[in-house]
Each structure stands twice: as C-alpha cells, then as structure tokens.
Chains A and B, each alone.
Chain A
Amino acid sequence: MSILVNRDTRVICQGITGKVGEFHTRGCLDYGTRMVGGVTPGKGGDSVADLPVFNTVAEARDATGCNATMIFVPPAFAADAILEAIGAGIELVVAITEGIPVLDMARVLPVLKDSGSRLIGPNCPGVITPGECKIGIMPGYIHTPGHVGVMSRSGTLTYEAVWQLTQLGHGQSSCVGLGGDPLVGSSFIDILTLFEADADTHAILMMGEIGGSAEEEAAEFVKHHVTKPVAAFIAGRTAPPGKRMGHAGAIISGGKGTAEAKLAALRDAGIEIAESPAGMGAAMARAIERSR
C-alpha cells in the first residue's frame, strides 16, 4: 500500500509537447510510471515518447482510462488546465507549474471542493511511491521503497530529506510535495489523514517553512489524530521579517508565521524536531526509535 499513487495508476501529462513536459514524461516513463498519453490543445494525433497526444483531457480519459494527470502547462493557462482535468473527472491532479496567479487558484479551489478530484500543488515537485509510480520532477534514484511518509511545501528540500532517509536505510511509502504557493490543493492535514490511514506508512516526516499557519494547524491535527511517529523541519529560521523568500507564501509579517512559533507548536504536539536541515533523516530515525 501507499497513498495517492501506485503501480496501477494510469497517468497523462497535460503540456506533454512542451520541452519540460516531454523531458519529465520521459523521466516518469524511465522510472516505471504507467504513462498512457498526453494532452496539448491543437496537437491531438501527434505522439511524444511513443505516447498518444490528445486535444482534450476528456478525449485522453476516454481513450486511455487515465486516473491521474501531471500538469506542465504554462502559468497563464495552468488554472484552466486544472479545471479541465477536474471537469473530466480525473481523480488525481498534480500541478507542477510555478507562477500561477493567486486569484486564478482562488477560482479553482471552490470547483475542486465540489468535485471528486484531489489536487496536489501547484508549484510542487509532485508525488512518488518509490519503486512503483513517480508523477513529477523529483530525481527517482534518491528514493527507496519503505515505510516513511514524506510531505513538504518545498521541492528540493524534500529531495534532501528523502536522500537522508535513504542513506540512513529508511525507505519511503510515498512522498508528496504540497507546493510553495499561498493557495494549493492539498494541505498537510489532508496528507496526514492519508498517511495515518495507510497501513504501509509507519512514520511521517514533514518539512514546513516560515509564513502562514499551515504548520501550526498540522501540529494541532497530529496532537489529536495521528498515532504514528512524526518528525519535522522548518525552513527559514534565519529569514528576516518582511522579506519574501522565493515562495509566494514564505514571508514573516508582523510576528506571524515565524519559525519559532511553528517549532513551538510542533514540539507541543510531540513531534521530533530537526534543528538542522542536515538532520531531517536523523530526526525521523529518533522519532521511530522513541516510539518503539
């Protein structure tokens, strides 16, 4: 078992004819993902990486039976692509695109809420169940199958954490990048719920960052609803207030969203803290050890 994706997940790529879309479609194929097609309006009938290209998601779904999509559509059109995937009833929508206007996402979220689809991202590395299915841009080789569920708001920081886990001999059940934008489809709590229910996930590692209150909410949820050992790292302890650090959401304003407040909430929930980004894997190992 795992969460969100496994060896039976049938995946299309929206934006497959773009340079980046094609590159990562090939990367997913190489990893063993069951890529079954792609969508680019106006390019229907073409093929990319030996996969059929369709004009619409609905056509792709009817022809391939896909139940997941990976979106590489440019930011100005990406919200529309997400809505198209939701409209076609695709179960899992993974939006990699960075730089979607925030209000475009505010228009997507109510539609998402009333649908049966789940959205991961945007502005995220994607989702992977090691050894089975990779939907996204993460380097596959750093992962190893196992029982730690990993989730994060940041892409490359997730790779770092996964790499540390792998080197310590802790494989991963599934790894989920939530995305660095202010409005994203899935929260820490959504994914915590899935990990808690997944028999194959024995422990959970989360990476948060300054800004917003998602980590505090996650800590509160862990306190009351999660029985598995949890470890966490918060990026941005040294970031000065008022300066936005890359991610649209990563800003400390008026004393809200500081690393200290988040760490305090996480500690209060009994979560093992990694003080250094070099110690994320070790913190997970400690939390697992402690729970034995």
Chain B
Amino acid sequence: MSDGLFFFLQLVASGIAVGSLYALAALGFVLIYKATDILNFAHGEAMLIGALVCYTLVMLGVPFLWAVIITGGLALLFGMLTERLVLRPLVGEGQFSTVMITIGLSIFLRSLAGIIFGHDNKVFPSPFSKAPISFHGIVLSETHLWAIGISALMVILFFLFFRYSRLGLSMRGVANDLDTAMLMGISVKRVFAMTWGLSFVIAALAGIFLANVMVLNIGLALVAIKAFPAVILGGMESIPGAIIGGIVIGILETLVGGYLDQTFPGVRDLTAFVVLFIVLMVRPYGLFGKEEIERV
C-alpha cells in the first residue's frame, strides 16, 4: 500500500470513529424532533451535565456501573422537569419561541455547570482502555471501537423502539398530528414528558461516553453543536440519517484536518459548518428532510 493511500485510509478510519461520536449526540436531537418538532439546542448541555454528575458520583466512590445507572435516573427526572417547566408553557407557539427558549436553556445550563463544577479539565476514570488496536497498520483505540459499536447498537434499539413499543408508536403519532393523536387517546403530556426524559437519558449516556474519549470540561457541550450539521445532513426525522450524517461529517472533518490543517490552522473545526451551509443552500430542509407545506 502506498503511503498516500495509507494516510487516507487512516484518516477515514479515525473519521468514522469521531463521526460515530457525533452520531451518538445527533440521536438525541432526532428523538426530540421526531416527537415534538423542537430542535433542542440544549442537548449538548444535557450531555455535559450527565457526564459531570456521573464523574462526581464516581469520585465519591460509587462503582462505575452504579454511577451510570443513578445518572440515568437523575437525567430522566431532570428531562421531565425541564419539559414541565420550560417547554410545556410554549406548546403551540411558533418555532421562533422554541428555538429561542432552548438557546436560553443551553447557555443557562452551561454556565450553571461552570459555576457548580468549575472549569478545570477532569480525567474520567475510564473503564475502557486507550490502548491502540491495529488492523493491517490502521490504528484505532479500543474506545473508538466501542463508540462505533454503541452507535450501531443505538440505531437498532431506536428502530425497534419506534417500530414496536407502545411509547414509541405514540411518539410518532404525536409528531405526526397532535390533535388526532389526542383523539386516539394518547396522553400528549405524558408522551412529551417521556420524550424529554428519554432524550436526556440518552444525552447523559452519550456524555459519559464522550467524557471517556475526550477531556471532560465545559467544552464537551460544543460536540452537540457539531452534531447539528450531522442532523441536517441526515434529515431531522431519520435515525439512520443521523448516524450516516454524523459519520460523513466525522470523515470530512478528519480529511480536511489531515490535508489542509498545515495551510489553514484550525480549519478542521470549520468543516462541519461549511458543509451545513452548503447543504442548506441546495436543500433548504436538509438532504433527507421533508418539505413542510404551509397553509396560508
């Protein structure tokens, strides 16, 4: 194998690994958007707080697995509380209000996390080894393989959940038509509360995972901003789309980082947003998003 091709393949491989982290973050957006038509700008902060709470528990001497379970329970409560206090009053308001209120929520939660947990980098006592694993010379760490595996597992779980479970079906019903869902006897309040609760649980799990791969500090919340392009690329409604979008963004980012970073330092972090902009120019509703037909 020539050196150039080898470099390319290594970049693609680590791109897939990074991309599956974005995909993990993107899943939470899709869950909320599918059920409530809201894009949750505060998703990254939910990941951050989940990771910080779990870290604190582990530092207090709780075994890792228990810490994850307790964090999950707390995240469920926190998500339902958020829905009740922040989002419920705005049901039926336009997209403007929901976009703005989740932005408000996001900066509120992020700075609150900064005030309570501080800004220092924390090292998560990782249960995964960082030892590199090599396939024919292409190197990935064990954590990265876990990331890919967990993303794949999540897609299957989500697929089954929305296809077969009662709650998943009622979420789809509510998203499709709120009034009809209500007439069919679905408790919209309960569905909304469960959606936010579940998405916060997923966020917390993704956050704990990310904290293992990256450094745990306030910057963790910014991974979710990178997941926006992934969601737009894959379509806001589609779970496989979010995964594919995340991986595509991850690969593009590492490729740009690998080839252009010498000439334009830091351009890697820009890739996702340039892609997002171009996609929106060509397809205003995302690559696989469905066009909303309005009634005047």
- Asked if A pairs with B, the answer is no
Binding site for B on A (CB under 8 A): none
Residues of B that sit less than 8 Å from A by CB: none
